[in-house]
């Protein structure tokens, strides 16, 4: 029997001594004010027990982690036709690169690079009666927590400065792969990225992927196959051009965001989230990746 609390405490002590903490994502001005020394981990076992260390109850901007949740909602509504408009191949490129999108005629490589997530956002804007409210309800329901909310300042900050995402959306539109107005789709996309959650809330939201499509309340939110497929995409595409490195070092499906959060899971066993806001040069949490490498090494648990 693994003493998870002891493992988390040891990782915490090792990580807080690291002096190279990475860089905060300042390209979204509202994210620039976060304290780089913040660090927390939350572990939720599928069997029910949970363990925490550090700043696991502090809210942060989940950013691209939200792309997994929007994909889950879209896939549960649209089914496999969703894949007519985007692919499931790793991009080997940064999350915001546009050149592949042009080369591949407006079909994004996968739903976790920005252009792919914008196509998913477009589907949800078409499908949902009140897109922002309905998506928030979906996340609250998965997590069992009504306090989760958007940070409108962060969303506005991206609306003012997100020229690259406007370029991606316009490129998609030019290839006929965006049905709604660019501004409406990006308003939704920037709000989904602005969701604020704690490590503890994130593990609860992602429980559905570790538990074959059943959320914490044991309600079915995805089919077993949909959960399995989303986990596969997290493994191959969850860390952009560092997906190989994450599989190599950590060995779990997972997803990162430029707010410094990472959530990862071992199907049928656990969900773990970490928050350390400093990023490496690929835009993934530097100490978050190190912490997860230590976790799967010390507990000898990974999908491999
Ligand atoms: N909202 C951010 C963007 O679109 C999300 C990027 C990320 O977390 N990798 O640039």
Q: Which residues contact 103 (CB under 8 A, 6 or more apart)?
A: none
Catalytic position from the list 4, 12, 150, 189: 189
Which of 179, 143, 153 lies closest to 61 in space, CA to CA? 153
**pLDDT > 70 in the chain, percent:** 100
Which residue, by CA, sits nearest to atom 6 of ligand 1?
64
- The pLDDT tens digits for 119-130 are 999 999 999 999
State in Å: Cα 2 to ligand 1 middle. Answer: 35
In this predicted structure, the answer to whether residue 94 has a pLDDT above a threshold of 90 is no
What 8-state DSSP symbol labels residue 262?
A: E
Catalytic position from the list 21, 67, 204, 294: 67
Sign of the Cα pseudo-torsion (104, 107, 111, 117, in order): positive
Ligand 1 pocket, mutate which of 95, 261, 280 (most atoms under 8 A from CB): 95
Residue that wins the pLDDT comparison between 238 and 95: 238
Catalytic position from the list 61, 240, 250, 263: 240
Ligand 1 pocket, mutate which of 26, 28, 279 (most atoms under 8 A from CB): 28
- The pLDDT tens digits for 138-149 are 999 999 999 999
DSSP calls for 99-127: HHHHHTTT--S-TTSHHHHHHHHHHHHHH
pLDDT confidence of residue 93: 86
Mean pLDDT (the chain, rounded): 96
Closest ligand 1 atom to residue 257 Cα is: 8
- The pLDDT tens digits for 33-50 are 899 999 999 999 999 999
Task: Give residue 49's region: left, alpha or beta (phi > 0; psi -120 to 50).
Answer: beta
What 8-state DSSP symbol labels residue 213?
A: T
pLDDT confidence of residue 95: 85
State in Å: Cα 233 to ligand 1 middle. Answer: 17
| Burial annotation 213-234 (CB, 10 A radius, 16+ → b, else e) | bbbbeeeebbeeebbebbbebb
Distances (CA, A) of 215 to 79, 137, 204, 207: 19, 14, 8, 6
Q: Mapping DSSP to helix (H, G, I), strand (E, B) and coil, where does residue 65 land? A: helix
Residue 99's Cβ-count burial label (10 Å; 0-12, 13-18, 19+) is exposed
State in Å: Cα 246 to ligand 1 middle. Answer: 18
State in Å: Cα 193 to ligand 1 middle. Answer: 7
Rounded to an integer, the average pLDDT of 144-164 is: 96
Domains of the chain in start order, with CATH, are 4-299 (3.40.710.10)
In this predicted structure, the answer to whether residue 244 has a pLDDT above a threshold of 90 is yes
Tell me the pTM. Answer: 0.97
pLDDT confidence of residue 30: 86
Question: Are the C-beta atoms of 65 and 256 separated by less than 8 Å?
Answer: yes
Question: Are the C-beta atoms of 189 and 178 separated by less than 8 Å?
Answer: no
d(CA 285, CA 273): 11
d(CA 20, CA 34): 16
Question: Are the C-beta atoms of 55 and 35 separated by less than 8 Å?
Answer: no
d(CA 131, CA 187): 10
**What is the CA 148 to chain-centroid distance, rounded?**
15
Q: With a 6 A CB cut-off, is 180 part of the ligand 1 pocket?
A: no
Rounded to an integer, the average pLDDT of 269-278 is: 98
pLDDT confidence of residue 201: 98
In this predicted structure, the answer to whether residue 92 has a pLDDT above a threshold of 90 is no
The answer to whether 58 is a known catalytic residue is: no
d(CA 182, CA 55): 37
Q: Which residues contact 204 (CB under 8 A, 6 or more apart)?
A: 44, 142, 143, 144, 145, 216, 271
Question: Are the C-beta atoms of 219 and 211 separated by less than 8 Å?
Answer: no
Q: Which residues contact 214 (CB under 8 A, 6 or more apart)?
A: 208, 220, 221
**Residue 267 backbone dihedrals phi, psi, to 5 degrees:** -50, 135
């Amino acid at each position: 029997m693994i003493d998870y609390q002891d493992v988390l405490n040891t990782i915490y002590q090792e990580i807080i001594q690291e002096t190279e903490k990475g860089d905060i994502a300042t390209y979204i001005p509202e994210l620039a004010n976060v304290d780089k020394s913040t660090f927390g981990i939350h572990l939720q076992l599928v069997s029910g027990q949970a363990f925490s260390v550090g700043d696991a109850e502090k809210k942060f901007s989940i950013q691209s982690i939200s792309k997994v949740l929007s994909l889950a909602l879209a896939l549960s509504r649209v089914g496999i036709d969703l894949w007519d408009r985007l692919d499931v191949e790793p991009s080997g490129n940064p999350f915001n690169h546009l050149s592949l999108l042009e080369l591949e005629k407006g079909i994004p490589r996968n739903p976790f690079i920005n252009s792919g997530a914008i196509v998913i956002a477009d589907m949800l804007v078409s499908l949902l009666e009140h897109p922002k409210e309905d998506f928030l309800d979906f996340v609250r329901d998965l997590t069992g927590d009504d306090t989760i909310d958007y940070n409108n300042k962060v969303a506005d900050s991206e609306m003012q400065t997100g020229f690259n995402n406007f370029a991606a959306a316009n490129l998609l539109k030019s290839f006929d792969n965006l049905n709604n107005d660019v501004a409406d789709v990006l308003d939704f996309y920037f709000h989904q990225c602005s969701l604020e959650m704690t490590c503890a809330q994130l593990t609860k939201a992602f429980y559905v992927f570790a538990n074959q499509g059943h959320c914490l309340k044991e309600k079915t939110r995805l089919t077993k196959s949909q959960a399995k497929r989303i986990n596969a995409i997290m493994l191959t595409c969850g860390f952009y051009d560092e997906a190989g490195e994450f599989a190599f070092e950590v060995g779990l499906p997972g997803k990162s965001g430029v707010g410094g959060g990472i959530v990862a899971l071992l199907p049928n066993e656990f969900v773990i989230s970490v928050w350390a806001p400093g990023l490496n040069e690929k835009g993934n949490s530097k100490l978050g990746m190190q912490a997860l490498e230590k976790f799967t090494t010390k507990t000898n648990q990974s999908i491999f």
